[in-house]
Amino acid sequence: MNYLKDKSVKSTFNFAKSQTAHYSKSFFLSSAMLPKEKRWDTYALYSFCRYADNIVDNPRNRSVIELIDEVDYLAKEIKIAYQRGESEHPILKPFIIVAKKRGIPMQYPLELLEGVKMDLQKNRYETFDELYLFAYRVAGVVGLMMSYILGFSTTDALKEAEKLGIAMQLTNILRDIQEDKNMDRIYLPMDEVQRFNLTEDDFFQEKMSHNMQRFMHFQVKRAHKYYQEAEKGIKHLTPNTQFAIYSASRIYHGILLKIEARNFNPFLGRVFVKQSKKFGILAREILKTRLIRPAMAIFL
């Protein structure tokens, strides 16, 4: 961790840590249990991703054109930073150190920024293929970058990391249907909306019908499938880091189960997993991946 001996560098990593703690208590909690160097690298990655997301989530008084210019500037700085191996941008400074050290391909942060631009320019998605591209850019590539930090034994881990990112983004979408429609956003394939004999008005007027229930069941089932496929790749991550991804997967999967428990009604307010439940999931995964499985391996 020689890079933290430089005070100016350490201050940016400390800021990244504070951003992680502020915006995602669950992520901060699981990251805190990682080996020290990977823990700090994770903070740098999260802080960069959060900064990019906030361009959309906190637009201030800027126009869409101005926000796109902001994203484009960030993309240009990333390209220069990768070329030179450094940046004085307070968010990119720790990120580029980590990206170069871990070998994170430049295409991944650039894809993330393309996803941010999609979110600024689109509020409807005609097909699942369109939605998948958005989910890949804003979440799938995050899973890929995280894999480079955690370490993996085979590239199969990358394929499954992408799927886990997709699963988590689909979960976010299903959880936030009510909030998103209040901002004139429907992150659902419109051709599938029509296939289930629904219209945009069914969402805007919060009509919970049999067709809506069938539609939601279909969407939840697809998200479940991505979680199941992603599960296979976690075992290819470095053993002392697997608990963090298993925990994140279990916590997000729990959101889907809560949607199911509401009879698939997306209009009853945002569902969430209680903090005590998150602690329990994390503790179990640490126990399984760092104690039980290594112990069992002795007898195999």
- Please state, rounded to an integer, the average pLDDT across all residues of the chain: 92
How many distinct helices (H) and strands (E) make up the chain? Answer: 16, 2
End-to-end Cα spacing for the chain: 36
Render the burial of 245-274: b for 16+ CB within 10 Å, e for the rest: bbbbbbbbbbbbeebeeeebbbeeeebebe
Q: What is the pLDDT of residues 159-202, one digit of tens each?
A: 999 999 999 999 999 999 999 999 999 999 999 999 999 999 99
Q: What is the pLDDT of residues 38-72, one digit of tens each?
A: 999 999 999 999 999 999 999 999 999 999 999 99
Residue 130: pLDDT over 90: yes
- The residue type at 108: Y
Matching residue, tokens 């502020």: 22
Domains, the chain: 1-106 (no CATH), 122-300 (1.10.600.10)
CB of 175 within 8 A of CB of 259?
A: yes
Instruction: Report the share of the chain in percent with pLDDT over 90.
Output: 80
Q: What is the pLDDT of residues 192-249, one digit of tens each?
A: 999 999 999 999 999 999 999 999 999 999 999 999 999 989 999 999 999 999 998 9
Distance CA 267, CA 205 (A): 10
